[in-house]
Chain A
């Protein structure tokens, strides 16, 4: 779904949509379908590939020149092509955290290879060969780490001179993933330094709303009126390492911004920009981020009421297996209630809120996946168009449970591939409570309901497309 803008500069830019879709995938994998990396790995890769597209980051060539209302003190700066070298944490932190999340979740160093994160533009009619900047997850992380050190841990600027709290949180998530993959304690160092640096300004204001940004050169807090999106966006993220500050302020924040609507639903007062302050685009970011934050802090009542409003009044659609809320321009309906919907909220945020679990990001940050997780039986590959509803290995009963149904694939077969399957003794595979396949490390016997065979260190399974529950039980050690 497209927007009226270029989707590069506003708070619904492509980078934000892609990043929060990837975070939603990460949370869903870890908390809901831990034994089904097959569902998440390929989409995660595609999101990263899209993040590397010039369509996502070339705005930096213009934005790096500054000279806007909040960075005029720096004057006009020379244009920069490299989107991760200096500032622009509103992009660099997202690609850094996505690459490291991928490595962590799938135990795959794909983006650790030299040049795996290359920012490249190859124009035909200008630029004498274009631009190319080669990084990998480690060199990019190092780049961000030393910028953070150089800034005294206050944070790296988004637009020149503008240090937003929000956009430094994804970098902290990336640092944490780096620690979990490679060892070290960068995240702890940075969060301790961050707390100290922001103690001069306050992470929150006295009125309980979050501060938004500091102007770097002036070393001054910019204090616009509180914004709903800022409270909820920062709350959703900073909950990973500072849940106390989020949970002590969220109840008053949501009470401040919420508006009651029919049948117990509710909407969030949107932050309407004053005239002349950027393009007059309408959006539902405040609403979308409130839903995400409610999901993260575990406020089920607010989350239910917000999603109910979205479902009742935001015209959701199912299309090609996806549930989303189409763009709608204009702030309010005839009743004076929120009507606006934008691509970021409709494509990413409400889906994120629906898929998250209480303290989902906090648990992802603080409860590392163990070696045992990566050694457990799991669905690691599957054909297109299958909806996986459950995927969990239970060590106590030595069983793997998978539930699935047709998505786009409504006819033919489901092809599935399981890893960490062998060397666990004899096993039985039940499909819809009936034994369909049995085997041990040397032989596999299929009943006719499904075809199964050993493929190296995997078990490959083919069964007719349909609504199915699979259970694999290993009988002996």
Chain B
């Protein structure tokens, strides 16, 4: 149901697709850097979950895909993520590329006017983190309501089981 395909640009300016992450697990979250509440809360939680994984984190690529490509250029994403959530690599692209990525992950995001935002809009979005395995298959997703400890335990469990099967 989830087909983890994308063709985007990372926050270093390099073109990337899901193929570049084959061999690694991906933890993918969609959001936008102007997000005031949901993204900072979720990225902080996911970062602490990743910290809790210890050495296992080396096998995971945490990715943050913007739903606001008009404002989230590679450099904007780089500055924001490196300052606040350095574990994550930001991905952006053209409107069409982002639409394709949203469709592949079945993400909802819709621009909405907001007087409190400096540019006059926000982009409410699905707050789900997706775990994709090293072959590119969807393995699990975590809702915003799930705490970091539980996420860490589930990721660890899924990866361990996968490795046990591979080593058997």
The total of interchain contacts (Cβ-Cβ below 8 angstroms) comes to 25
Q: Which residue of B lies closest to A192 (CB)?
A: B145
Judging by beta carbons under 8 Å apart, are B107 and A142 in contact?
no
Residues of A within 8 A of B124 (CB): 152
Q: Once bound together, how far apart are the Cα atoms of A150 and B108, in whole Å?
A: 5
Is A149 engaged at the interface, CB distance under 8 Å to the other chain?
yes
Residues of A within 8 A of B126 (CB): 149-150, 152
Q: Which residue of B lies closest to A200 (CB)?
A: B112
Judging by beta carbons under 8 Å apart, are A152 and B143 in contact?
no
Count of residues in A whose CB is under 8 Å from the partner chain: 11
Residues of A within 8 A of B143 (CB): 189
Q: Once bound together, how far apart are the Cα atoms of A152 and B128, in whole Å?
A: 11
Q: Once bound together, how far apart are the Cα atoms of A72 and B19, in whole Å?
A: 39
Q: Min CB distance, B166 to chain A, in Å?
A: 25
Judging by beta carbons under 8 Å apart, are A152 and B110 in contact?
yes
Residues of B within 8 A of A147 (CB): 106
Judging by beta carbons under 8 Å apart, are A149 and B110 in contact?
no
Q: What sequence of 0s and 1s flags, for each residue 175-208 of chain A, a beta carbon within 8 Å of any chain B beta carbon?
A: 0000000000000010000000000000000000
Residues of B within 8 A of A142 (CB): 1
Is A151 engaged at the interface, CB distance under 8 Å to the other chain?
yes
Q: How large is the interface on B (under 10, 10 to 19, 20 to 34, 35 or more residues)?
A: 10 to 19
Residues of B within 8 A of A149 (CB): 106-108, 126, 128
Within 8 A of A (CB), among B77-115: 103, 106-108, 110
Q: What sequence of 0s and 1s flags, for each residue 5-30 of chain B, a beta carbon within 8 Å of any chain A beta carbon?
A: 00000000000000000000000000
Q: Min CB distance, B137 to chain A, in Å?
A: 14
Residues of B within 8 A of A146 (CB): 1-2, 106
Q: Min CB distance, B147 to chain A, in Å?
A: 14
Q: Which residue of A lies closest to B127 (CB)?
A: A193
Residues of B within 8 A of A150 (CB): 103, 106-108, 126
Q: Min CB distance, A104 to chain B, in Å?
A: 22
Q: What sequence of 0s and 1s flags, for each residue 49-70 of chain B, a beta carbon within 8 Å of any chain A beta carbon?
A: 0000000000000000000000
Is A143 engaged at the interface, CB distance under 8 Å to the other chain?
yes
Q: Once bound together, how far apart are the Cα atoms of A150 and B30, in whole Å?
A: 13
Q: Once bound together, how far apart are the Cα atoms of A149 and B107, in whole Å?
A: 7
Q: Once bound together, how far apart are the Cα atoms of A218 and B53, in whole Å?
A: 44
Most buried by A among B103, B106, B107, B145: B106
Is A219 engaged at the interface, CB distance under 8 Å to the other chain?
yes
Q: Name A219's contact: one of B103, B107, B110, B128 (CB within 8 Å).
A: B110
Q: Once bound together, how far apart are the Cα atoms of A147 and B106, in whole Å?
A: 7
Q: Once bound together, how far apart are the Cα atoms of A146 and B141, in whole Å?
A: 11
Residues of B within 8 A of A153 (CB): 108
Q: Once bound together, how far apart are the Cα atoms of A315 and B93, in whole Å?
A: 66
Within 8 A of B (CB), among A148-162: 149-153
User: Other CB < 8 Å A-B pairs besides A149-B106, A149-B108, A150-B108, 10 of them?
Assistant: A142-B1, A143-B1, A146-B1, A147-B106, A149-B107, A150-B106, A150-B126, A152-B108, A152-B110, A152-B126
Q: Which 7 A-B pairs have the closest CB atoms?
A: A152-B108, A150-B106, A146-B106, A146-B1, A142-B1, A149-B106, A150-B108
Q: Give 23 CB contacts A-B under 8 Å.
A: A142-B1, A143-B1, A146-B1, A146-B2, A146-B106, A147-B106, A149-B106, A149-B107, A149-B108, A149-B126, A149-B128, A150-B103, A150-B106, A150-B107, A150-B108, A150-B126, A152-B108, A152-B110, A152-B124, A152-B126, A153-B108, A189-B143, A189-B145
